Structure 1
Amino acid sequence: MNYEAVIGIEIHCELKTETKMFSGAPLGYGQPANTAINEIDISMPGTLPQVNKTAVEYGVKLSQALGCDIDTLMRFDRKNYFYSDLPKGYQITQQFYPLGSHGSFEFFVGEELKSVRINRLHMEEDTAKQFHEGDITRIDFNRAGTPLLEIVTEADFRTGEEAAAYVDALRLLVIYLGISDGRMDEGSLRCDVNISIRPEGQEAFGTKVEVKNLNSISNIQKAIEFEKERHIEVVTSGGAIVTETRRFDEKTQETVSMRTKESAVDYRYFVEPNIPPIRIPESLLQPLTQELPVAKVQRYHEEYDLSYYDANVLVKNIELSEYFEKLVASSKHYKLIVNWLTQDIMAVLDKKEDKSMEEWIKPEFFIDFIDAIESNTISSKQAKQVFAKLIEGESPKKVIKDSGMVQISDEATLMAWINGVLDANPQIIDDYRNGLDKSIKFVVGQVMKLSKGQANPRLTNEFVIRELDNRK
């Protein structure tokens, strides 16, 4: 019997606001422990929450980008959650009236465009961070109160590849919107996966297991693939899947049980009494006009005839994508530009340091470089030499001139060298007649020596073959 996985994803996205969700304390990632807090964050008596307007604006932006229905009357709820990482003993969230609902999101899996249904998007506050040291637990409240958006999908994914591609695409989306830095390694974007299996063709879902706090795109795919195989092994051996929460162990590349769920946790939700319903102002509900990543990939494919792979590579680097737009405004050599950007430039981006792309390599210099290659002014080997100077800020035209790199493409000049080599080495013609291809390479090599490397290698090769055919 063949089984398929049924997967749903919950993403917690920290927002890039200046202050916290319900207090005026600054966001404190990387700050000394317990320094980016105020009395609201640690729930001192008499304190009251105040909603962060910028966080609401960011929530509306993402809701619009995901095609969600937006509830313009904001209401918050209390989720009673008696853990040490929530000093109030509850979390302010949106259980009953999420900001966004019934949306959908398109993303690429390789070159195939897929779509996932978005169940809900709601706002809440993050918890404090705990550090366990033996029998001691230390708590840093800097993260407590950080604005969060939780995005919950329907169980529309069937493979780890699809799930990983979705998370990567949504991470890029929040970066494009400017609402989060999307740093999974820093916890700015965290992912929980719910997975079950069922026989192919069956409608009913199987028993669900949750894998918590996946912190990289690759780990999402690995965890899902491991869980699917684990589920299949348990079921086919006559066992039963246990409803539980698991984590992914990077060392063993396996999921590990954290706790079982014998019954649903009763969080005793009720309306947050300290935040009255708030009508979202019209100024925050203006239509989203920004071009989003998937649309940009489609445009690059259609307008510049780029492959979906190349378009995706470009779009995933916002600065490189913007630089590409400037270059193609002055040049039609789209494919050549993309090849150098996505291969050679990306390989040395660390040399840019804190400069912008335009400060590092002037767009006009890059265009001069591309034109020199396209016009066969320089060979591919010479292009590598010019590129080394280009990333140091030098003008390609000056480098080519000063180094005497200009290729010789004049047919009369090339043919004079070719005939000279053949006249001096008549045995080459016999070798060619006998099918020895090395005869061509010999003549081309001799011409390159005579020209001090400046002969156009492509034209030289063509002319050599033509002349040898004539002399057969």
Structure 2
Amino acid sequence: MTASLLVRGYEVVIGFETHAQLSTQSKIFSGASTAFGAEPNTQSCAVDLALPGSLPVMNRGAVERAIQFGLAVGATVAPMSIFARKNYFYPDLPKGYQISQYEIPVVQGGAIEFLVDGERHRIRLTRAHLEEDAGKSLHEDFHGMSGIDLNRAGTPLLEIVSEPELRSSRQAVEYAKSLHTLVVWLGICDGNMQEGSFRCDANVSVRRPGEPFGTRREIKNLNSFRFLQQAIDFEVQWQIDQIEDGHEIVQATVLFDPDSGETRMMRTKEDAHDYRYFPDPDLPPLVIAPSWVERVRAEMPELPGSLAARFEAEHGLPAHDAAMMTTSRATAAYYQTAAAACGAPKLVANWVMGELSKRLNAEDIDIAAAPVSATTLAALIGRIQDGTISHNAARQVFESLWTGEGATVDALIEAKGLRQMNDSSALEAILDEVLAANPKSVEEYRAGKDKAFNALVGQAMKASKGKANPAQVNELLKRKLGP
């Protein structure tokens, strides 16, 4: 623990509970659809509604997705796990209990790794267990009343629980992003936070360094990384203020209000004994044979951490760049295609993180839908490498490619007159004119003022209308100015 992570002399302690909605087409214990956006209560069957005599049947696809996750984080996949009834009473829970796992979860242990400012962090996971989602209470358009939509009831969830090892909101965000990247990469969750497919609950407490853990408050259902950081930052300051004013922190569940930027208490927090867990008599133990685990392992894609390490070793990328190139499978595929085509992995990474990301973010589209393909970007980078165009000219070409002005990189270079001047005799003539017109800058450079040299380079580029090769300008200019 470094002193820089302390907040007003307090250590922040954060643990995560993340609900990842699994990408099965049917629910965890019934055949009802999990498709998002249907009319209320049109995707609920007898099992979801808890009608008398209906019995749950385990969804094999949900189990396979849990196995994938366990393997990806280096956890133990339990050869036998138990489903339990978690008892609580809420209008959107038809049975009066939720089927979950308690004492013996399907995934045990494991870890998530991520970078913060180039420093690698490894946060241990306590467990990941399978459970069903509840329905949803609707409070709008009901003339002052509330309605219940049970479409979501029974949707399969993997609840992923971390150890309380995060020590700042920044770490918490990077942990959540890495976890999000992983479940989407594996294809076990679509990661849509707006639709509730990936929901984060942050357990936050503060303590003086070396003291026992403080009382935690759980911030529920954070559906964006920005809100997650804002909520934790506010909660930390609030808890410290309470302690400094002589108040005790009461364990509670709180919600974050993005409009006010504040958390507010929803209810005092229950402990496990309040839910009166007991094994569900309708579901036998979940038995996972080693052969099933190995079959799932054989079908899994290369993981983002492994691929990033390969990009560092084989392509010479810095750790940060390699991590950025593996934020999604689509990004990794785009990068690999472009790097293979032009043989300049670092330049490709720079363009993906720079111009391409800027455009994708501005238009809120995925890299798979980018108007500039990986091979086209490689062709553009190739023209920078062979000296045909400058970096500035390449940005102009990229803009035209993005907006669909031209069919090919070379055609746009010619049409816009962006080809660099590589004729040394013509460039020398320009430099002679620049030196003759700027005797003061020449004198200042020879007197040891480096800024004067940059001014001369700028004048040369201006005189060539930006077509001179900057590297060639620097070389010839230094030769003409002498030692």
TM-score w.r.t. length of structure 1: 0.89
- How has the CA–CA distance of structure 1 residues 356 and 183 changed in structure 2, closer, same or farther, with 3 Å as cutoff? closer
- How has the CA–CA distance of structure 1 residues 283 and 197 changed in structure 2, closer, same or farther, with 3 Å as cutoff? same
> Which moves more between the two structures, 406-415 or 425-434?
425-434
3-state SS in 2 of match to 1:348: helix
Q: Which amino acid in 2 is paired with 1:168?
A: K
- How has the CA–CA distance of structure 1 residues 333 and 52 changed in structure 2, closer, same or farther, with 3 Å as cutoff? same
Q: Which amino acid in 2 is paired with 1:106?
A: E
3-state SS in 2 of match to 1:345: helix
Q: In structure 2, how many angstroms separate the alpha carbons of the residues matched to 1:109 and 1:431?
A: 44
Post-superposition CA distance 1:219-248 (Å, at most 9, x none): 222222222222222222222111222111
Aligned residue in 2 for 1:432: 442
Aligned residue in 1 for 2:3: none
Does the aligned pair in 2 maintain the 1:22–1:49 contact within 8 Å? yes
- C-alpha displacement of 1:16: 0.9
Q: Does 1:396 align with 2:413?
A: no
Q: In structure 1, how many angstroms separate the alpha carbons of the residues matched to 2:187 and 2:73?
A: 15
3-state SS in 2 of match to 1:62: helix
> Which moves more between the two structures, 5-14 or 330-339?
330-339
- C-alpha displacement of 1:316: 1.6
Aligned residue in 1 for 2:257: 249
- How has the CA–CA distance of structure 1 residues 443 and 224 changed in structure 2, closer, same or farther, with 3 Å as cutoff? closer
Q: Does 1:218 align with 2:226?
A: yes
Aligned residue in 1 for 2:427: 414
Q: Does 1:385 align with 2:385?
A: no
Post-superposition CA distance 1:110-158 (Å, at most 9, x none): 3211112211111010000111247411111111110001111121122
- C-alpha displacement of 1:23: 0.7
Q: In structure 2, how many angstroms separate the alpha carbons of the residues matched to 1:259 and 1:198?
A: 23
How many residues are treated as equivalent by the alignment? Answer: 464
Q: In structure 1, how many angstroms separate the alpha carbons of the residues matched to 2:301 and 2:458?
A: 53
Aligned residue in 2 for 1:142: 151
Does the aligned pair in 1 maintain the 2:185–2:328 contact within 8 Å? no
- C-alpha displacement of 1:409: 1.5
Q: Does 1:454 align with 2:461?
A: no
Aligned residue in 1 for 2:305: 294
- C-alpha displacement of 1:460: 2.9
3-state SS in 2 of match to 1:378: coil
3-state SS in 1 of match to 2:267: strand
3-state SS in 2 of match to 1:323: helix
- C-alpha displacement of 1:364: 3.7
Does the aligned pair in 1 maintain the 2:26–2:32 contact within 8 Å? yes
Post-superposition CA distance 1:192-224 (Å, at most 9, x none): 12222222122x222222222222222222222
Q: In structure 1, how many angstroms separate the alpha carbons of the residues matched to 2:169 and 2:257?
A: 16
- How has the CA–CA distance of structure 1 residues 56 and 385 changed in structure 2, closer, same or farther, with 3 Å as cutoff? same
Aligned residue in 2 for 1:235: 243
Aligned residue in 2 for 1:60: 67
> Which moves more between the two structures, 313-322 or 90-99?
313-322
Aligned residue in 2 for 1:118: 125
Q: In structure 1, how many angstroms separate the alpha carbons of the residues matched to 2:79 and 2:441?
A: 83
Does the aligned pair in 1 maintain the 2:460–2:473 contact within 8 Å? no
| 1:303-314 aligned within 5 A | 303-314=314-325
Does the aligned pair in 2 maintain the 1:182–1:188 contact within 8 Å? yes
1:169 is aligned, of 171, 178, 181, to 178
Does the aligned pair in 1 maintain the 2:335–2:374 contact within 8 Å? no
2:216 is aligned, of 208, 213, 216, to 208
- How has the CA–CA distance of structure 1 residues 53 and 299 changed in structure 2, closer, same or farther, with 3 Å as cutoff? same
Aligned residue in 2 for 1:131: 138
Does the aligned pair in 2 maintain the 1:23–1:50 contact within 8 Å? yes
- C-alpha displacement of 1:406: 2.5
Does the aligned pair in 2 maintain the 1:244–1:260 contact within 8 Å? yes
- How has the CA–CA distance of structure 1 residues 239 and 380 changed in structure 2, closer, same or farther, with 3 Å as cutoff? same
Q: Which amino acid in 2 is paired with 1:381?
A: N
Post-superposition CA distance 1:62-110 (Å, at most 9, x none): 1111222221224311122221111112111111221011222222223
Aligned residue in 1 for 2:194: 185
- C-alpha displacement of 1:322: 0.8
Aligned residue in 1 for 2:480: 467
Identity of aligned residues (%): 38
Task: Name structure 1 gaps, 5 residues minimum.
Answer: none
Larger-Rg structure: 1
| 1:257-268 aligned within 5 A | 257-261=265-269, 266-268=274-276
Q: Does 1:81 align with 2:88?
A: yes
Post-superposition CA distance 1:298-337 (Å, at most 9, x none): 3323332323332233222431221111122233322211
Does the aligned pair in 2 maintain the 1:227–1:255 contact within 8 Å? yes
3-state SS in 2 of match to 1:398: helix
Does the aligned pair in 2 maintain the 1:67–1:105 contact within 8 Å? no
- C-alpha displacement of 1:452: 6.1
TM-score w.r.t. length of structure 2: 0.87
The CA RMSD over aligned residues, in Å, is: 2.8
> Which moves more between the two structures, 150-159 or 219-228?
219-228
Post-superposition CA distance 1:317-364 (Å, at most 9, x none): 43122111112223332221112111111222377978946x843444
Does the aligned pair in 2 maintain the 1:418–1:447 contact within 8 Å? no
Q: Which amino acid in 2 is paired with 1:433?
A: E
Aligned residue in 1 for 2:283: 275
Does the aligned pair in 2 maintain the 1:34–1:141 contact within 8 Å? yes
Q: In structure 1, how many angstroms separate the alpha carbons of the residues matched to 2:31 and 2:442?
A: 82
Q: In structure 2, how many angstroms separate the alpha carbons of the residues matched to 1:94 and 1:345?
A: 43
Q: Does 1:344 align with 2:355?
A: yes
Does the aligned pair in 1 maintain the 2:441–2:455 contact within 8 Å? no
- C-alpha displacement of 1:281: 4.5
Aligned residue in 2 for 1:153: 162
Aligned residue in 1 for 2:106: 99
Q: Which amino acid in 2 is paired with 1:340?
A: W
Q: In structure 2, how many angstroms separate the alpha carbons of the residues matched to 1:65 and 1:123?
A: 16
- C-alpha displacement of 1:429: 3.9
Q: Which amino acid in 2 is paired with 1:384?
A: R
- How has the CA–CA distance of structure 1 residues 253 and 413 changed in structure 2, closer, same or farther, with 3 Å as cutoff? same
> Which moves more between the two structures, 36-45 or 304-313?
304-313
Does the aligned pair in 2 maintain the 1:33–1:140 contact within 8 Å? yes
- C-alpha displacement of 1:259: 1.7
